[in-house]
């Protein structure tokens, strides 16, 4: 088979590929990142690149995403363009990776009344400090003729005084040098023990006292980002936190695209290895910057949605996306981290927060833990808005949940200038008297617009009568920013001189329609769930908003476009990265690990695709703010 050479600019990286490979596949093999939201299906238009040398034919998909001027300049979609010549490919600024605005902290709102407590963070509530993996220093009595039990029985007898566990498992590896360690260190040893399902597992036995080297990792395995937090297991102190964009994005920005890739033209193993690479890279950085050794990390707790948990554990998720939407598992086994390729201590374990259903995962269970809604009699609501909008309503007696497919619109997908919340993204907009002012992440020139900026834009456009409440442009309006491009009306949010790439950043009528569908899906899910349990919005004591998108959300504007219920804004509280917070709480408490399983078992999932009222609610929500104005009494655009 013929091969061709592709050179990627500005990286100046070359690779030889077989004829017929796509430019996107070539970039993956070369280790060059190109934005790609749909997993190479040709559905998002984010992977546009410019052919500066060689011949490459744009395919039929290109016409829907690129202007005639761009096609004339040699732009193509990398995922749909087959290599049939030696090429030099320029990756434009918008298609490259930029530092993400990653939410690496969260707040534990409230949590129980534990008997034994320790402060995890100055700004957080008290939690039980009884880690799922412990290092215990033992001073053992020497054997005598009257007390001549085996060495391991001597160790486990002493351990039983620390734990209410009768049985401890131990590997052959731990036994092989036990006799020598006990006698060389005068019968003092440090035993690393993991508790799981009311039994103990001895992971390691070291001579002497090594309890000061006891670390753990809490991990939020998000669809968009992966965040790793290094924790001192002895004190509960957060040592440091690192985050990065999830490398699985090369296989699709949302979970459906990744499942399609893994279950058709790719493999689960490819997607699994991508997130393991993330974890290893972030862990290595944390250790290097804090002068810590990887071998001193003995435990990990990871929280993610059901699909991310499957990919983490290299489980096949293919049936999750197909009716009747069945995952391989909702409760996951405790595993040795090394068996997944995670590079921590040789005997370190990994625990995955349990899921509830195909589209309500461990990240939401962790969020329920973090906000404490399962501990109080008052009825509260948790909303995590991302590619899916997951909602939980309940209290200490009952919990119901659902997931609405909002699509990746809030991640900037589906819009020509949409982008993730990374450097250069417009995140705030204000329009007054025909003048547009905006703020970008990093205070740089604009590269595009992210989810929070899009919500601001819709609100400002309807408030200024530039669009009607059905999302259509008021074409009779005299506004120089309102233009026509290839028959599609667009509004200029940033002029070419204000942008990094030297072209206008605009928003079109069809892009506004996609955003209205996304906000409608989220609100319809909240309304459907509240109606299901017979509650009005004003009966919710608190609404917690979790996740990176929520942290940048302007609450009054989100209410005004009909994304969030019209309630007293004081009742709406951001809790940051609650998935990470919940994972850390579990890492530091065996009781909380069991509580997470109880929460997952207690949560009743409402499958909205089989819940008839949802579609009616969704259609009613395709308006700004809603077709039923009684639901939004404080919103008035007039």
pTM of the model: 0.85
| pLDDT at residue 110, rounded to an integer | 35
CATH no. for residue 29? 3.10.20.30
| pLDDT at residue 197, rounded to an integer | 66
| pLDDT at residue 547, rounded to an integer | 80
Query: Do 328 and 223 lie in a common domain?
Result: yes
| Cα of 540 vs its chain's centroid, Å | 26
Which residue, chain included where needed, has tokens 């998935």? 579
| pLDDT at residue 628, rounded to an integer | 96
183, part of any domain: yes
Give the model's confidence band at 165: pLDDT under 50 very low, under 70 low, under 90 confident, else very high.
Answer: confident
Name the DSSP class of 108.
Answer: -
* Domain total of the chain: 5
Using an 8 Å Cβ cutoff, are 617 and 527 in contact? yes
Query: Do 223 and 304 lie in a common domain?
Result: yes
Burial group, residue 141, by CB count within 10 angstroms (0-12, 13-18, 19+): exposed
Give the model's confidence band at 245: pLDDT under 50 very low, under 70 low, under 90 confident, else very high.
Answer: confident
Which of the residue ranges 140-144, 333-337, 384-388 would you say has the lowest mean pLDDT? 384-388
Query: Do 374 and 493 lie in a common domain?
Result: no
Query: Do 268 and 344 lie in a common domain?
Result: yes
Query: Do 61 and 33 lie in a common domain?
Result: yes
Mean pLDDT of 417-439: 91
Query: Do 284 and 429 lie in a common domain?
Result: no
Which of the residue ranges 53-57, 184-188, 234-238, 508-512 would you say has the lowest mean pLDDT? 53-57
How far is it, in rounded angstroms, from Cα 496 to Cα 502?
5
| pLDDT at residue 127, rounded to an integer | 46
Q: How many Cβ atoms sit within 10 Å of the Cβ of residue 531?
A: 14
Query: Do 318 and 437 lie in a common domain?
Result: no
Which of the residue ranges 39-43, 59-63, 67-71 would you say has the lowest mean pLDDT? 59-63
- Beta sheet of 572-576, edge-to-edge order: 572-576, 542-546, 380-385, 388-394, 399-405, 603-605
101, part of any domain: no
Give the model's confidence band at 294: pLDDT under 50 very low, under 70 low, under 90 confident, else very high.
Answer: very high
Domain-terminating residue out of 478, 508, 538: 508
Query: Do 227 and 198 lie in a common domain?
Result: no
- Helix ranges, 464-605 (H): 509-532, 548-551, 555-560, 578-587, 590-602
Query: Do 499 and 601 lie in a common domain?
Result: no
Give me the phi and psi of 207, to 5 degrees please.
-75, 140
Residue % of the chain over a pLDDT of 70: 92
Query: Do 504 and 551 lie in a common domain?
Result: no
Beta bridge partners of 392: 382, 401
Give me the phi and psi of 243, to 5 degrees please.
-145, 160
CATH no. for residue 158? 3.10.20.880
| pLDDT at residue 106, rounded to an integer | 61
| pLDDT at residue 310, rounded to an integer | 98
Using an 8 Å Cβ cutoff, are 391 and 382 in contact? yes
pLDDT in tens, 515-545: 999 999 999 999 999 999 999 999 999 999 9
**Is the predicted pLDDT of residue 103 greater than 60, yes or no?**
no
What is the domain range of residue 282?
Answer: 216-352
458, part of any domain: yes
Beta bridge partners of 448: 425
CATH no. for residue 574? 3.30.420
Domain-terminating residue out of 173, 207, 241: 207
How far is it, in rounded angstroms, from Cα 55 to Cα 100?
34
In what helix (H) or strand (E) does residue 617 lie, and over which residues does it extend? Answer: helix 613-620
Domain-terminating residue out of 207, 242, 259: 207
In what helix (H) or strand (E) does residue 294 lie, and over which residues does it extend? Answer: none
Longest dimension (CA), the chain: 101
The tokens describing 141, both together, are 């009595």
**Is the predicted pLDDT of residue 116 greater than 50, yes or no?**
no
Using an 8 Å Cβ cutoff, are 4 and 87 in contact? yes
């Amino acid at each position: 088979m013929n091969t061709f050479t592709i050179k990627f600019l500005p990286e100046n990286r070359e690779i030889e590929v077989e004829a017929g490979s796509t430019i996107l596949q070539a970039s993956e093999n070369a280790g060059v990142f190109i934005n790609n939201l749909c997993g190479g299906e040709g559905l998002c238009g984010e992977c546009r690149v410019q052919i500066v040398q060689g011949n490459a034919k744009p395919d039929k998909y290109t016409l829907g995403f690129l202007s005639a001027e761009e096609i004339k300049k040699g732009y193509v979609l990398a995922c749909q363009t087959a290599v049939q010549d030696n090429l030099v490919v320029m990756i434009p600024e918008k298609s490259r990776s930029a530092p993400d605005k990653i939410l690496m902290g969260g707040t534990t709102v409230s949590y129980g009344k534990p008997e034994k407590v320790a402060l995890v963070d100055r700004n957080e509530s008290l939690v039980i400090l009884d880690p799922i993996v412990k290092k215990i220093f033992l001073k053992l009595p020497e054997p005598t003729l009257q007390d001549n039990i085996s060495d391991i029985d001597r160790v486990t007898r002493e351990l039983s005084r620390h734990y209410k566990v009768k049985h401890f498992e131990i590997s052959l590896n731990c036994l092989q040098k036990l006799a020598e360690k006990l006698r060389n260190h005068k019968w003092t040893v440090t035993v690393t023990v993991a508790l799981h399902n009311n039994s103990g597992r001895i992971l390691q036995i070291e001579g002497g006292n090594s309890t000061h080297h006891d670390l753990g990792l809490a991990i939020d395995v998000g669809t968009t980002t992966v965040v790793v937090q290094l924790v001192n297991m002895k004190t509960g102190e957060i040592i440091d936190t690192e985050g990065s964009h999830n490398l699985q994005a090369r296989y699709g920005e949302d979970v459906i695209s990744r499942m399609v890739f893994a279950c058709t033209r790719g493999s689960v193993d490819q997607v699994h290895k991508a997130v393991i690479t993330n974890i290893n890279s972030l862990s290595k950085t944390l250790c290097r910057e804090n002068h810590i050794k990887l071998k001193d990390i003995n435990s990990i707790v990871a929280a993610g949605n059901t699909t991310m948990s499957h990919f983490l554990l290299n489980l096949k998720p293919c049936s999750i996306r197909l009716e009747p939407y069945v995952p391989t598992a909702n409760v996951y086994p405790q595993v040795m981290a090394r068996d997944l390729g995670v590079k921590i201590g040789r005997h370190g374990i990994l625990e995955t927060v349990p899921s509830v259903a195909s589209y309500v995962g461990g990240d939401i269970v962790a969020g329920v833990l973090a906000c404490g809604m399962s501990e109080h009699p008052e009825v509260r609501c948790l909303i995590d808005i991302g590619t899916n909008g997951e909602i939980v309503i309940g209290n200490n007696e009952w919990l119901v949940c659902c997931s609405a497919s909002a699509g990746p619109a809030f991640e900037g997908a589906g819009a020509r200038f949409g982008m993730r919340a990374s450097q250069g993204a417009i995140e705030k907009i204000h329009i007054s008297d025909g003048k547009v002012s905006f703020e970008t992440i990093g205070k740089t020139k604009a590269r595009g617009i992210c989810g929070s900026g899009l919500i601001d834009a819709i609100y400002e456009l309807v408030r200024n009568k530039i669009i009607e409440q059905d999302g259509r442009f008021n074409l009779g309006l005299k506004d120089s920013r309102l233009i026509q491009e290839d028959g599609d009306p667009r509004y200029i949010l940033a002029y070419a001189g204000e942008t990094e790439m030297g072209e206008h950043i605009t928003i079109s009528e069809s892009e506004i329609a996609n955003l209205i569908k996304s906000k409608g899906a989220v609100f319809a899910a909240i309304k459907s769930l509240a109606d299901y349990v017979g509650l009005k919005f004003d009966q919710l004591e608190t609404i917690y908003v979790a996740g990176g998108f929520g942290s940048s959300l302007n609450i009054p504007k989100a209410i005004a476009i009909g994304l969030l219920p019209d309630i007293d804004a004081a009742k709406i509280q951001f809790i940051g990265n609650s998935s990470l917070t919940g994972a850390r709480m579990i890492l530091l408490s065996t009781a909380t690990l069991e509580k997470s399983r109880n929460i997952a078992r207690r949560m009743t999932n409402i499958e909205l695709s089989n819940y008839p009222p949802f579609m009616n609610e969704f259609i009613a929500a395709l308006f700004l703010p809603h077709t039923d104005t009684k639901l939004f009494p404080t919103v008035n655009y007039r």
